[in-house]
Structure 1
Amino acid sequence: MNEIAPGLWMGGHYWTPPGGDLEPVVVGYEFDVVVSLFTLPGHGPAPHVEHVVRAVPDDVLSAAQLRAVQDAVALTAEAVRRGRRTLVRCRSGYNRSGLAVAGALTLLGHDTGRAIGLIRERRSPWALNNPVFVEYLNTGLDVALLLSGLDGSAP
């Protein structure tokens, strides 16, 4: 897990230590709020820690999935504004969590390019390697949601 901005952390359910094998990451009481865009039993957080789950794939998102991301973004930004130590996570902590963290950073006053840069600098240069997610951010999540409704489904 890496702190991207004061009080805003990004991570995954798994990590690989240098020279090691894939290991689970179990969250306990380290955070006030955990926002999971992917979740598995046994990975925490501890009881009584606020846990928000908005499961979405690491793929092109439907209108409903984009709304779930927008909800995660708004919840994350509000938690950080309120001084709550917040973790946003997905499976490996690169794409889905990066989308939500970048969105939250824009609500907190960063421009999109700076938000992506912070994530790649503080989490990993490989973060946000899903070009569709970067396009969602560059387009704006609101516009991406409107455009997703053009396929014939309601936004």
Structure 2
Amino acid sequence: MDTAIINLSEKTDKATKQMLQNVVNKKRKFDRYKNYHFFLLWISVFYCFITIYLMYHMILKPYSYSFFEIFSIVFNNQNHMFFLFLAVFFLGATKVLYDKKEKYEKEYHELRCEIIDRSKDLWKNEAWKTRHEIFEMMKKQYDINLYHEAK
């Protein structure tokens, strides 16, 4: 558990601290996959752009008179096929990372909304008056907004 969450006031019980820690862990996992997706997306875009540019100048431009020639050159040369399959692999990996990013974003948002919905149960009586301090700490240290459900 993070030290900032451990050092919360005594008015916050262990279950609430564990819920806060879980939302921090989900946020970190979401951010990690968001960064992976962004990085691989740009690698894919640049790789595909370079591959299309080179294929155009090496194959399409010189052999533009015949579709059969273009087709046979692309599919008879193993290097051309390797570059095309590598482009498809990058695009597929980008899609897989996008799906994982969306999954973790959904889990993070659901847990955050659960804390917001249950805040009246988690902080009762005296603790209700000091919950804004915890919300401020979560916003400053972890960039997690517990004031509103909207992203």
Fold match (TM-score > 0.5): no
Compare relative contact order (CA 8 Å, sep 6+) and give the higher one, 1 or 2: 2
TM-score, L = length of structure 1:
0.24
* Structure having the larger proportion of residues in helix: 2
Greater strand proportion: 1
What TM-score, normalized to structure 2? 0.25
Bigger Cα Rg: 2
